[in-house]
Chain A
Amino acid sequence: MSAHSPFIFAAYALTFLVVAVMTGAIIRQYYGLRRALEKFPPRKGGDEADGT
């Protein structure tokens, strides 16, 4: 345990937090979009017809 340990801990904790929040937000968005899209009737051509 060095005198600089709090700085090292803070740097890694912050990095973990930012990555976790970013990943969580993207996953949450994905399932939200999937749920919303499921409420539309399936398209005749399936995914192939998608011209987005």
Chain B
Amino acid sequence: MWKYANPANFLRLANALIPWTGGITALLLALGLWGAFFASPADYQQGETVRIMYIHVPAAWLSMFCYGVMTLSALGTLVWRHPLADAAQKAAAPLGAAFTFICLVTGSLWGKPMWGTWWVWDARLTSVLVLFIIYLGLIALWQTIEEPSQAARAAAILTLVGVVNLPVIKFSVDWWSTLHQPASVFRLGGPTIHASMLWPLLVMAVAFTLLFVTLHLMATRNEILRRRLRRLSIVTARGETPLSSLQIVEALR
């Protein structure tokens, strides 16, 4: 594992993996969407609106999974001071924010016809909104601090502070009386969803996870290249500068 934690080895591994994970993601998304729209029945209470769940639930899982990846990366930054951990953490934050945004908006689009309201200040909804704000805060922190190693340490500390929100999200439906339904897949007594609805949900969950893996590999690769460009720009700025500052700023965007 440590062998692949070298940035140069990671770039080679990422270049080899991305076409495969991307291809499998596309296939699984196609299968999952077919299952969600054509192979699974409408719910006896929710009707056709249940089809929103095939994207809402995987997005919700990914919003937390992504934060878990960031937490591990934060430990890598603070404990082992590994540069790849910094890059992985920075690359994951916008992806986590995007999945959390999808989760919140699709939940709202489901809530209006089912609950009669776009939003309630329910413990589950509010804790997921807090997660979204934490992601935005982390992205802002990376943008604000210019020195990558300082930004990585600050972001790692904020990530570890924010991890307390994950159990709150998970158990909010058990700890408080909420409008949001309790867990129906990962529970002690087994899933309460019928198999005809469960398999498309699980396929979509795996597809979303692979989508995250693919995008995270790509974004981490970008971050490594960005740091390489930054380092080369600083080194060459002392002698002959091959790039104009405008070109560097354009590439760093």
Interface residues of chain A, those whose CB is within 8 Å of chain B, are: 2-5, 7-8, 10-12, 14-15, 18-19, 22-23, 26-27, 29-30, 32-37, 39-41, 47-52
Q: Which residues of B contact A36 (CB under 8 A)?
A: 229, 243, 247-248, 250-251
Do B48 and A26 have beta carbons less than 8 Å apart? no
- In the bound complex, residues from chain B placing their C-beta under 8 Å from that of A49 are 8
**Chain B nearest Cβ from A42, distance in angstroms:** 11
CA distance A39 to B250 in the complex (A): 14
B180 at interface, CB cutoff 8 A: no
Q: In the bound complex, how far is the Cα of B251 from the Cα of A39, in angstroms? A: 12
User: A18: which of B98, B226, B232 is its contact (CB, 8 Å)?
Assistant: B98
Nearest CB on A from B136, distance (A): 15
How far does the alpha carbon of A3 sit from the alpha carbon of B114 in the complex, in Å?
Answer: 12
Given contacts A5-B48, A7-B52, A47-B11, whether A15 and B102 have CB atoms under 8 Å apart is yes
Indicate with 1 or 0, residue by residue over B193-235, a CB within 8 angstroms of chain A CB atoms: 0000000000000000001000100110110111111011000
Q: A7-B109, A11-B56, A37-B232 are in contact. List 18 more A-B contacts (CB 8 A).
A: A4-B49, A5-B48, A14-B102, A15-B106, A26-B215, A29-B222, A30-B218, A30-B225, A32-B253, A33-B222, A33-B225, A33-B229, A36-B248, A39-B242, A47-B12, A50-B7, A50-B228, A51-B7
Partner of B224, one of A14, A48, A52: A52
| Per-position binary interface string of chain B over residues 39-61, scored 1 when its CB falls under 8 Å from any chain A CB and 0 otherwise | 00000000111011001100100
Docked Cα-Cα span, A47 to B224, in Å, equals 12
Asked if residues B229 and A37 are in contact (CB atoms below 8 Å), the reply is yes
A19 closest partner in B (C-beta) = B211
Cα A45 to Cα B7 with chains together (Å): 14
Q: Is B105 an interface residue (CB 8 A)?
A: yes
On chain A, the residues within 8 Å of B48 by CB distance are 2, 4-5, 8
Residue among B94, B95, B113, B250 with most chain A CB within 10 A: B113
Chain B count of residues within 8 A CB distance of the other chain: 46
| Residues in B neighbouring A33, C-beta threshold 8 A | 222, 225-226, 229, 251
Chain B contacts with A in 17-66, Cβ cutoff 8 A? 47-49, 51-52, 55-56, 59
A22 and B250 contact, CB distance less than 8 A? no
B106 near A11 (CB under 8 angstroms)? Answer: yes
0/1 string, B151-191, CB within 8 A of A gives 1 = 00000000000000000000000000000000000000000
- Can you list 20 pairs linking A and B with CB atoms under 8 Å apart? A2-B48, A3-B113, A7-B112, A8-B48, A8-B52, A11-B106, A15-B59, A18-B101, A18-B102, A19-B211, A22-B95, A27-B218, A29-B222, A30-B218, A36-B243, A37-B228, A37-B229, A40-B232, A47-B11, A50-B7
